[in-house]
Structure 1
Amino acid sequence: MSILINKDSKVITQGITGKTGQFHTRMCRDYANGKEAFVAGVNPKRAGEDFEGVPIYASVKDAKEQTGANVSVIYVPPAGAADAIWEAVDADLDLVICITEGIPVRDMLAVRNRMRQENKKTLLLGPNCPGLITPDELKIGIMPAHICKKGRIGVVSRSGTLTYEAVAQLTELGLGQSSAVGIGGDPINGLKHIDILKMFNDDPETDAVVMIGEIGGPDEVNAAEWAKDNMSKPVVGFIAGVTAPPGKRMGHAGALISGGADTADAKLEIMEACGIRTTRNPSEMGKLLKSVL
């Protein structure tokens, strides 16, 4: 059991003919069950062609009808990425993963509002995220696969590089991952920490979770408060940005301290109060997790 994706997922790459789309589709196909899983690409101008044996269709709807795909990954440049998300949502896929960074906030606002108004079933991961991996089954996105190892620890993170850091530490300690999920650092995104925690809590093959957050926004606090009352498995946490000055944006578009509870210190305090063990040192995430098992 894994969350969101497994070896039987069928994946479309939107933006498969661009440099980034080509490179990462190739990397994902080379990992575990990727060759079977990546069934289609989408580029309206290149329909009827193929990319290394993967057929290219004019639209997500066409690709889904022809291949039975249920997941899409997006490497479309920022100006067209929100439209690409909507196209996948409108085709009623189960999951859309948007890797693109730099989508205008206004575009994302419009997509999110439309998803809500039309009550769409599609789950959105990202944008501005590294994707996700279920070790030995499937990787979708840009995570390095060689650091992963099959196991029973869930990882959820707003930061791409810190996802890899946590995964590498767990692997080094001999603890593998059930799934590792990067939710992305934009202010308006799809799945939040709380959604992924719920999935890990319900997954019989996940024993504990590493939750990595950043300054800015209420997401980590909401997840911690939910975990306090509902989570049956241990969670450990890290918040990036302890030294960040208020009002300064740190790397991610969503990492901006605006109110008192947005700071790393405030988030760490609330997480601790909710029973989540935390560390202020990112190199200790794996050891901390091991200590609560």
Structure 2
Amino acid sequence: MAILIDRHTRVMTQGITGKTGQFHTRQCREYAYGRDCFVAGVNPKKAGEELESIPVFATVEEAKQKTGATVSVIYVPPAYASAAIDEAVEAGLDLVVCITEGIPVRDMLRTRARMRGKKTLLIGPNCPGIITPGELKIGIMPGAIHQQGRIGVVSRSGTLTYEAVAQLSELGLGQSTCIGIGGDPINGLKHIDVLKLFNEDSETDAVLMVGEIGGTDEEECARWVKEHMKKPVVGFIAGVTAPPGKRMGHAGAIIAGGKGTAQEKIEVMEACGIRVTRNPAEMGKLLKSVI
């Protein structure tokens, strides 16, 4: 196992009966051990139904009790997605992966407050999910580009996650686990949380960290890396040419109050010993050069 998920993980889909939930649950089941891992769906209005032999339950708690699922993936529409996260947290799941984009910031502020002191980890929202290649994928990433290996990947950008993985695989560098943490201003796991997990993982040798403008998460992570990381880390920051005050793609990708510029992040990361490329086409080659 790498981090957080493997072939023994049991997963439920919240929002399994919607078009998006159905499509991606099928895709995930077709990848590696997915057919064994996806064991339940949740939709209070469709309880008792089945989706291709996956039973649908009224609540997360019932799905957990009946199937042993400890992880949830959420494809619920934005207006109801934070409540879906709340339900999974209250049920005591180990991990929640929220794919939904466009959740109101106020909703996520309330949800983050409710999560304090609870054991549940959250990936997302507005993220592609998590994959341990050759074992299990939970989310919307293209499974075919991934290879089993020993490089950890963590990224705020879904598209750049795929680009980084494709470059690594082309160079023969497989991945232990890849996580897209999402681009919203209020989210779950940060870069630093994922780096801590990779640092302790015996099956990860190095980490590729992709960030973007907005906030100070990458800087905080870089300072932690300098003091504690036992493995090489390389990085890329998207948004070098972004004008201050203009939101770029993600809700959290905005330079505000003079903080969060790409240049500032790059300078801190390099000062902390992280090798950084300014060219997204060079992420894989830079990683290969440090191992």
TM-score over 0.5 for the pair: yes
CA distance in 1, matches of 2:196, 2:88: 24
CA RMSD of aligned residues (A): 0.5
Residue in 2 that maps onto 1:219: 217
Q: CA deviation at 1:261?
A: 3.8
For structure 1, which runs of at least 5 residues remain unmatched after alignment? none
Q: Is the 8 A contact 1:260 1:266 kept in 2?
A: no
Counting only pairs closer than 5 Å after superposition, residues 2-21 of structure 1 correspond to structure 2 as 2-21=2-21
Partner SS, residue 260 of structure 1: coil
CA distance in 2, matches of 1:229, 1:259: 28
Partner SS, residue 211 of structure 2: strand
Counting only pairs closer than 5 Å after superposition, residues 121-200 of structure 1 correspond to structure 2 as 121-200=119-198
Counting only pairs closer than 5 Å after superposition, residues 246-285 of structure 1 correspond to structure 2 as 246-285=244-283
Letter in 2 for 1:251: G
Residue in 2 that maps onto 1:46: 46
Q: CA deviation at 1:260?
A: 3.2
Partner SS, residue 249 of structure 2: coil
Partner SS, residue 115 of structure 2: helix
CA distance in 2, matches of 1:266, 1:112: 27
CA distance in 1, matches of 2:168, 2:258: 32
CA distance in 1, matches of 2:29, 2:257: 43
Residue in 2 that maps onto 1:108: 108
Letter in 1 for 2:152: G
Q: CA deviation at 1:114?
A: 1.2
Residue in 2 that maps onto 1:240: 238
Task: Name whichever of 203-212 and 258-267 sits farther off.
Answer: 258-267
Q: Deviations over 1:43-89 (max 9, x none)?
A: 00110000011000000000000001010000000000000000000
For structure 2, which runs of at least 5 residues remain unmatched after alignment? none
Q: CA deviation at 1:15?
A: 0.2
- The 4+ residue runs of structure 1 with deviation greater than 3 A are none
Q: Give the TM-score of the pair, scaled to structure 1.
A: 0.99
Q: Deviations over 1:246-291 (max 9, x none)?
A: 0000000000001334100110010000000000110100000000
Letter in 1 for 2:34: G
Q: Deviations over 1:143-162 (max 9, x none)?
A: 00000000000000000000
Q: Give the TM-score of the pair, scaled to structure 2.
A: 0.99
Q: Is the 8 A contact 1:215 1:257 kept in 2?
A: yes
CA distance in 2, matches of 1:139, 1:260: 38
Residue in 2 that maps onto 1:94: 94
Q: Deviations over 1:186-212 (max 9, x none)?
A: 000000000000000000010000000
